[in-house]
Structure 1
Amino acid sequence: MNTFLPVSKADMADRGWDWYDFLILTGDAYVDHPSFGTAIISRLLEAEGYRVTILAQPDWRKPEAFTAMGRPRLGVMLSAGNLDSMVAHYTVAKKRRHDDAYSPGNRAGLRPDRASIVYANKIREVFGDIPLVIGGLEASLRRFAHYDYWEDKVRRSVLFDSQADLLVYGMGETATREIAARLASGTPVGEITDVKGTAFIARDPSVCAYPKVECPSFEQVREDKRQYAVANQIQYEEHDPIRGKAILQRHGDRMLIVNPPAMPLTTAELDYVAELPYVREPHPMYDDMGGVPAIEEVRFSVAHNRGCFGACNFCSLAFHQGRIISSRSHESVLREVEALTHHPGFKGYIHDVGGPTANFRRPACKKQMKAGLCRGKACLAPAACPNLDADHTDYLMLLRKIRAVPGVKKVFIRSGIRFDFLLKDGNGEFFAELVKHHVSGQLKVAPEHCVNTVLDCMGKPHIEVYEKFRQKYERLNQKYGKEQYLVPYLMSSHPGCTLNDAVRLAEWLNKSGRQPEQVQDFYPTPGTLSTCMYYTGIDPRTMEPVYVPRDPHEKAMQRALMQWKRPEKRPLVREALYRAHREDLIGYGKECLLRPEHRKVPTSKAPAGKTGPGKGRKPTAEPVRKTKPVKKAGWAVAKPKKNARPGKKKGK
């Protein structure tokens, strides 16, 4: 039976330890599952023969919380958790969140803001010059000087504020293994400067071990938005494990050196990492606190791949996991599924067989693994590259094998299906089986908008591609007698989206008979191309100006237009239509979004003692013609069918 790693002195004593090698510190609750970065890194180090302890969500105000298990022999590795701590704590409106799915009992406030910095500084306070490595999503996306939405300013690399020795970016297994081996061999942490997938600070740039390029300095990007856009584009262009160079960025009299990315794991390496001896559950110390809600999304799901060459501009995946795909073997996935069937809570449903994008199983094209990613080009947007390898056969075979595992009743796909990639597969067999076997009532896809100029800013395919997909999805559902709906994810207020564009999106939704119940506002998270556009007003790919909706009132109007039927949204919708000079959408036609305002119609008061039609009545409101709601096949209804399985929350 698999057991949790030590979280206390008592746990260490149970193992007969009076010392240990590495302290793994995390801003999340301790969940020993391969969907949590802390679990992967700790199990990987354990498998390498190191003694590892876990310190989850320590009280950062108390030094003794960090020293409860004593000083580690080799070093401390810390992560803010599976999310950037500021995203975990604040909505796009910068309001404090009241819950945290990665904390026990869904309780907010158990980690600090800017957790990587706060934790690292506390480690320096209590352990002095101990080797300190930061990693995880927060550190990865903040490795360069970056715009911080919450402070509305450019901050320097998190390495400087954290006082860490090394930063590991990306998924980190290869770099972590190499760093641990060097430390164990007695190499001073200051001499570990050539590990791919890491960043460090130096005064002499000649210590960089790789071909290098320098991007504008912290001071330059802080003062000049055009220089910020130049730096951002260089950082994206060189984020390639095959052809990418090291990137240098000066901060005052010191130099940030970011080594080239590590190569993606091979299939055998990814199998090994996925099958380490995880307990696959939250630590039992959280049982009395209500458990850790985040496990519910992944407990009966299987991740079969990594990386995403979809590379949407607003998504952090391309800048973290990279755009080259790694995938697990069928045998490894099947072993995991078979193990899930023995879980006491398993009821026959595999909730997802996915990853960053579910239907990616191989690199985008054959030359990618030899020459790297094409400079200045995207694989799928605005149109799919002619060299794209869109064969879904391997993924289809995997799904068929999982369906055949004894005890499995249904296999769903809930993580993102890239519909433009699916359409490039001329076979059509996968699309048919997706509809027949793998949709749990609703299929969620992400067109994001309907205006092509906005989609170009997003790095998404043009709306005609989505419409083609939707029509084929409807035909297949009719063919197989399925009543399954399509739920489009949509985004408001993305850079490039004007108020007129938002009105056009509302028109498109109205014609389609669809009003989304949830709307995602663009959230400027660290490091992405879209965040660069938001801050600078420049598209870093072209260096051309781009419109940015920053005013909170305009953003509220853009959001309201996507939910125009809600009574509380109507004043904002009406104002937006007038501002956009689209009064033609106020009326009684089926194309209209709003009815005219109710106007009081005065009437004469009848003389005393006389009554009759129209006499002696109170003023009446202008009549409103009733219309039936539009409903078209292929769109999700407002309320899901009874007993329908809930869909997975959007992750991208």
Structure 2
Amino acid sequence: MTDFLPMTKEEMTKRGWQQLDFLFISGDAYVDHPSFGPAIICRLLEKYGYKVGIIAQPNWRSTNDFKRLGKPRLGILVSAGNLDSMLNKYTAAKKYRSIDNYSPGGRPGLRPERATIVYCNRLKEIWKNTPLIIGGIEASLRRFAHYDYWSDSVRRSILIDSRADLLIYGMGESQIKELAKQLSVGMPIKNIREIPGTCYPAESIEHLWDYVETPSYQDVITSKTDFAEAFKIQYLEQDAIRGKTVVQKHGDQYVVQNPPAMPLSTAEMDEIYDLPYERTYHPAYEAAGGVPAIQEVKFSIVSHRGCYGSCSFCALYAHQGRIIQSRSQESILQEARQIVKLPDFKGYIHDVGGPTANFRQPACEQQNDRGTCRNKQCLFPRPCKNLNTNHHSYLELLREIRKIPGIKKVFIRSGLRYDYLLAANDREFLRELCEFHVSGQLKVAPEHISPKVTNLMGKSGKETYLKFKTLYEQINKKLGKKQYLVPYLMSSHPGSGLKEAIEMAEFLRDTGYNPEQVQDFIPTPGSLSTCMYYTGIHPLTGEKVYIAKNSHDKSLQRALLQYRNPQNYHLVYEALVKANRQDLIGFGPKCLVRPPRNKDNTYARHKEMVSNARSLHPSRSKKTKKKTRAKF
């Protein structure tokens, strides 16, 4: 059966179902596409014979909507959706987002804050004894005591706050298959404790024998050093082959995390992506204009999972893992042929990749037997000598997709690691990338250029970016193409102060690049950078890290990265005076801004700049003004 999974009693009746086996509660609208976690989990359960229904974005203000499909026979699955519900709702400045791309018509406000917890507490009101299982990115990255940026506090494990029976972390397919099997034969949920990739609450840990215990919740809310130590233990054990069980005490309970699930085989990956998805949103959303999130992925293909790039600000290591899991070429080609048949396909495949497009195979053969290295990264501070840099498999895949009748162009938009490509020294791949897979602009992510910041980010430095930029421009010139690099840049990452932001501004001046967008660092749960942001400590080295937490300090950094924007003039001027970099204020080719004008329309002299800077922001608090004067 290839129609949508039921969202109403009427749709259940059409299938001849009286009762569901599993009820899935989702914070996103129902989009039946393999880029949406709920669709994957529900379709996989369906394949193995279970009756699954979906209640998408239920009205949480009462219990009525949750009862729409009746009590399920085996259990209830809860996910906040493809994004953490707080990140979905708020910007880095903690302001409401005007659009929710995962809701009908992009309408915001259709899910609560901390959706997983809210949904679970409602469900406990209705069916207290029905097995309750949480998963998805929100649950996965909040499974231990964690720093929550939006409340500026350390919160308990989401497993404790939601009162769920089990938490599935990671992508979840192997876990849900085993869990469904055990529940279907009558195993009580309280006795299901051995499935890799799951966490469960326990009153005692006497049954454990090979585990590591982190500082408790009570410890980490009172000591930032303990918080950093807890994070370090959790971080180092995120490997399916060598990782140990991790325990954290929460009052009179323990959160027990089993080691991660094993990486999926190619056959298992093919099974998941070959399921009979409708590849679009449920027809119920048509009147609202559909679900915007489908537009970016409808004509895209996931070729693999996992990432060994290990950027500090990314928590993907804790969700998809560092070991690459790839689909077969034939499975990917089959999906491409399906896309060609879609009625609104115009001939353009938007992307073929994963978290990092050109990571098509595991970093090295040793990972299959030993897992990832405990205290090393594959690309930072330099590429490992054992790193497999061969791009041939990915190149052959792209060539085969290009041959399919009906496909005009195949783009690569999911991010490309240029340091990995340089390590491969593969001119053939880069030439074909420029010739066939770029549409005027190639987006890459240096994020920053200050060594102090890139070292904390776990990213390659300025020299690597400039080397790739030169090579990219040379190849495009030979091809007779005018194509440009668009670098993603991040402001206010841990370690970045005004000095480092000015370094970035000078780099942008010298390279002639004027960024239209700059991403402020957002301390999302689960990342190494978030731990640094909260504690001021690098958890793996113990070094102290500067943190820009004041909103005005963040505004100064962001403005410096967009110093050409006239609206940022006063902020840039203030930042340069504050950093004692008046040499960058003037009329020379190296200057970032001109001096301010006096009342008689003449330019202020440098000795007048300090007094001018004091009066630039009358809206700032008196306390902040006093601090500024003291520093000046």
8 Å contact from structure 2 (residues 595, 604) kept in 1: no
Distance of 2:222 and 2:383 partners within structure 1:
37
Report percent identity of matched pairs: 57
Distance of 1:340 and 1:366 partners within structure 2:
33
Distance of 2:179 and 2:367 partners within structure 1:
28
- Deviates further, 374-383 or 453-462: 374-383
Please list every run of 5 or more consecutive structure 2 residues that lacks an aligned counterpart in the other structure. Answer: 606-632
1:422-437 paired onto structure 2 within 5 Å: 422-437=421-436
Distance of 1:540 and 1:204 partners within structure 2:
28
Per the alignment, residue 52 of structure 2 pairs with: 52
Structure 1, residues 12-48: CA drift from partner, whole Å, max 9, x if none? 1111111110001100000000000000000000001
- Deviates further, 524-533 or 427-436: 427-436
Shift of 1:462: 1.4
Per the alignment, residue 421 of structure 1 pairs with: 420
Distance of 2:419 and 2:535 partners within structure 1:
30
Amino acid at match of 2:150: W
8 Å contact from structure 2 (residues 598, 604) kept in 1: no
The reply on whether 1:583 has 2:582 as its aligned counterpart is: yes
Distance of 1:247 and 1:63 partners within structure 2:
35
Distance of 1:564 and 1:621 partners within structure 2:
22
SS at match of 1:538: coil
SS at match of 2:533: helix
1:138-217 paired onto structure 2 within 5 Å: 138-208=138-208, 211-217=210-216
Distance of 1:291 and 1:96 partners within structure 2:
22
- Deviates further, 382-391 or 236-245: 382-391
Amino acid at match of 2:199: A
Query: Which stretches of structure 1, 4 residues or more, deviate above 3 A after TM superposition?
Result: 620-624
Distance of 2:106 and 2:207 partners within structure 1:
45
Per the alignment, residue 463 of structure 2 pairs with: 464
Per the alignment, residue 250 of structure 2 pairs with: 251
Distance of 1:293 and 1:427 partners within structure 2:
37
Per the alignment, residue 488 of structure 1 pairs with: 487
8 Å contact from structure 2 (residues 211, 247) kept in 1: yes
Shift of 1:622: 4.6
Distance of 1:373 and 1:623 partners within structure 2:
58
Distance of 1:248 and 1:226 partners within structure 2:
18
Per the alignment, residue 29 of structure 2 pairs with: 29
Shift of 1:96: 1.1
Please list every run of 5 or more consecutive structure 1 residues that lacks an aligned counterpart in the other structure. Answer: 602-619, 625-652
Shift of 1:596: 1.6
8 Å contact from structure 1 (residues 383, 462) kept in 2: no
SS at match of 1:151: coil
SS at match of 2:134: strand
Distance of 2:34 and 2:515 partners within structure 1:
33
Amino acid at match of 2:166: L
SS at match of 2:31: coil
The reply on whether 1:310 has 2:297 as its aligned counterpart is: no
1:254-273 paired onto structure 2 within 5 Å: 254-273=253-272
Per the alignment, residue 562 of structure 1 pairs with: 561
Per the alignment, residue 531 of structure 2 pairs with: 532
SS at match of 1:577: helix
SS at match of 2:206: helix
Shift of 1:183: 0.4
1:324-473 paired onto structure 2 within 5 Å: 324-473=323-472
Amino acid at match of 1:354: G
Shift of 1:204: 1.5
TM-score (norm 2): 0.95
Per the alignment, residue 240 of structure 1 pairs with: 239
Shift of 1:498: 1.2
SS at match of 2:218: helix
SS at match of 2:586: coil
- What is the root-mean-square deviation in Å for CA atoms of aligned residues? 1.1
1:88-99 paired onto structure 2 within 5 Å: 88-99=88-99
Amino acid at match of 1:398: L
Shift of 1:211: 2.3
Distance of 2:188 and 2:360 partners within structure 1:
40
Distance of 1:555 and 1:576 partners within structure 2:
11
Structure 1, residues 84-121: CA drift from partner, whole Å, max 9, x if none? 00000000111111210000010000000000000011
Structure 1, residues 115-150: CA drift from partner, whole Å, max 9, x if none? 000001111111111000000000000000000111
Amino acid at match of 1:178: E
8 Å contact from structure 2 (residues 241, 369) kept in 1: yes
8 Å contact from structure 2 (residues 494, 545) kept in 1: yes
Shift of 1:600: 3.7
Structure 1, residues 507-553: CA drift from partner, whole Å, max 9, x if none? 00010101100010000000110000000000011011000011111
**What is the number of residues matched between the two proteins?**
605
Distance of 2:567 and 2:340 partners within structure 1:
47
Shift of 1:463: 1.4
8 Å contact from structure 2 (residues 146, 157) kept in 1: yes
SS at match of 2:5: coil
Per the alignment, residue 614 of structure 1 pairs with: none
Per the alignment, residue 70 of structure 2 pairs with: 70
The reply on whether 1:322 has 2:331 as its aligned counterpart is: no
Per the alignment, residue 649 of structure 1 pairs with: none
8 Å contact from structure 1 (residues 117, 162) kept in 2: yes
Per the alignment, residue 615 of structure 1 pairs with: none
Change (3 A) 1:224 1:623: closer
Per the alignment, residue 521 of structure 1 pairs with: 520
Distance of 2:338 and 2:434 partners within structure 1:
27
Structure 1, residues 255-284: CA drift from partner, whole Å, max 9, x if none? 110000001110110001001010011000
Shift of 1:623: 11
- Deviates further, 395-404 or 10-19: 10-19
Structure 1, residues 278-308: CA drift from partner, whole Å, max 9, x if none? 0011000000011000000000000001000
Amino acid at match of 1:166: L
Distance of 1:8 and 1:293 partners within structure 2:
23
Distance of 2:509 and 2:261 partners within structure 1:
47
1:574-613 paired onto structure 2 within 5 Å: 574-601=573-600
Shift of 1:317: 1.0
- Deviates further, 186-195 or 564-573: 564-573
TM-score (norm 1): 0.92
Per the alignment, residue 2 of structure 2 pairs with: 2
Q: Greater Rg, structure 1 or structure 2?
A: 1
Distance of 1:470 and 1:63 partners within structure 2:
56
Change (3 A) 1:623 1:557: closer
- Deviates further, 459-468 or 531-540: 459-468
Distance of 2:137 and 2:239 partners within structure 1:
18
8 Å contact from structure 1 (residues 213, 245) kept in 2: yes
SS at match of 2:246: strand
8 Å contact from structure 1 (residues 600, 622) kept in 2: no
Distance of 1:319 and 1:17 partners within structure 2:
37
Amino acid at match of 2:203: R
SS at match of 2:281: coil
Shift of 1:568: 1.3
SS at match of 1:66: helix
SS at match of 1:3: coil
